[in-house]
Amino acid sequence: MSQATDQQGSQPILRLVNLTKRYGDLAAVDDLTLEIVDGEFFTIVGPSGSGKSTLLRMLAGLDKPTQGDIFLRGGRINDVPANRRPTCMVFQSLALFDHKTVGHNIEFSLKMRGVDPVSRRKRCMELMTTVRLPENFYTKPVTQCSGGERQRVAVARALASDPDILFFDEPLSAIDYRLRKLLEVELKDLHRTTGKTFVYITHSLEEAMVMSDRIGIMREGKLIQIGTPNDIYTRPQNRFVSGFMGEINTLEVRTGSNGMLECPEFGKTLTSPDRGEDFSAGFLVIRPESMRFLRNPNDAENHIEGSLFNEYALGSRVQYHVRAGEKMFIVEQLREDAYQGNLNDDVIIGWDAADSVLVTD
């Protein structure tokens, strides 16, 4: 994966120091410290209840932190109300004003600042071009817009007052798969053309991978790993992070002699990928696409015997479920390397140590 990102300087635009939000005994955001670089696309990924929405609401000024500080370009903004922060948010529900037209939605922040109607309209037309909305939508009621159009209106509205940072609260979660893929690309392109800092939250690591410069994985109010999409993909820190990646194979292992791994479940000794000295027990993660069918047990560094349970065509790839003992392994092959044989065949699947990752629990 290439890292063709356009880093503009590296001074932090947003700095969170020991930021905490408590509801009773529960810390929704727990002592979080983070720097977000000017101009980057930073995505926070976490399951629901991980505190990511609370974090974003504090950054936008809609919630007050219980403890800790938020600095914007070095100035503390804890007590600055939402309407005076140079940030804008795209809400999960989009929160478009249903009683207004597309044009009046987009112009809203300008009207609030007392910009005259002529300049407002001019700016609105520019923004509609930026987000690819046709000009005649200016007078269209937002209630008559499609999902994708509403999305674009919401983004244009947030951009109107030229904010320093744009926050996104899972705006794509309610949109169907194909349109979502399209809008992900559009958002990333928009990030490039506007050069603004985007802070995005989502529960989908896949979505985060497509768009982000850096990703933070959030769990129970804490950021447990921060890194580029490549870092997260190739070096997940623990099973929680690797589990976010979708379907994976995991084997419980512990360190054996000669730097090998013991896998008690299959009574096997496996070759270990590189990992710091600190590792003693945990899980070996092998992605489905790193697994392959072997003619001969020695064709890969590690192998496991099983029987082919079922196969699923995924378009460019084919996925297989292979039963071995109590476990179901997932193997993915390119279509041209598809397995030639029948269901219930006895098969040997294997992988090379370099294609696997060791994680702690």
Partner 1 sequence: MRSSLRDWLSNPGVISASPLAVFLVIGFLGPIAIVFGFSFLPERTFGFGGEWTLDNYARFFSHGYYKTFLWSFGLAAATTVCTILISYPVAYGLCRTFGRWSTIIMLLLVIPIFVSENVRLFGWVLFLLKGGGVLAGSLKNLFGIETGSMLYTPEVILMGMVYVYLPFTLFPMNLGLSMVPQDQVNAARDLGANRWQIFREVELPLAMPGILVGALLTFVLAIGAISEAKLLGGTTVVMLAHAIQHEFTYAQNWPLGSAISVITISVTGILVFFVMRRIDLDQLLRRR
Question: Which residues bind to partner 1, rule: CB under 8 A?
Answer: 60-62, 81-85, 87-89, 91-93, 95-99, 108-109, 111-113, 157-158, 160-161
Rounded to a whole number of angstroms, the minimum distance from the CB of residue 78 to partner 1 is 16
- Min separation Cβ 209 and partner 1, Å: 28
Distances from the Cα of 299 to the Cα of 153, 291, 339, angstroms: 55, 12, 16
Residue type, 10: S
Pairing of strands 165-169, 261-263: unpaired
Residue 53 makes CB contacts below 8 A (sequence gap 6+) with 92, 169, 170, 201
Query: Between 85 and 287, whose beta carbon lies closer to partner 1?
Result: 85
Instruction: Please state the closest distance from residue 142 (CB atom) to partner 1, in A.
Output: 11
For partner 1, the closer CB: 96 or 241: 96
Tokens of 342: 């029948």
CB of 113 to partner 1, least distance (A): 6
Cβ proximity to partner 1, 165 vs 357, nearer residue: 165
Q: Which amino acid is at 151?
A: Q
Picking from 184, 219, 174, the residue whose alpha carbon sits closest to that of residue 55 is: 219
Instruction: Quote the tokens at residue 116.
Output: 């005259």
| Residues contacting residue 289 through CB under 8 Å, at least 6 positions apart | 317, 332
Shortest reach from residue 194's CB to partner 1, in Å = 17
Q: Which string of DSSP letters, residue by residue, matches 116-175?
A: -HHHHHHHHHHHHHHTT--GGGGGSBGGGS-HHHHHHHHHHHHHTT--SEEEEESTTTTS
Q: Which is nearer to partner 1, 86 or 134 (CB)?
A: 86
- Closest approach, Cβ 343 to partner 1, in A, equals 50
Looking at the Cβ atoms of 18 and 93, the one nearer to partner 1 is 93
Q: By C-beta, is 196 or 287 nearer to partner 1?
A: 196
Distance of alpha carbon 250 from alpha carbon 310, whole angstroms: 19
CB of residue 57 to partner 1, shortest distance in Å: 8
Strand order in the sheet with 302-313: 292-294, 346-351, 302-313, 317-324, 327-334
Backbone angles phi, psi at 78, to 5 degrees: -45, -45
Q: Which is nearer to partner 1, 96 or 348 (CB)?
A: 96
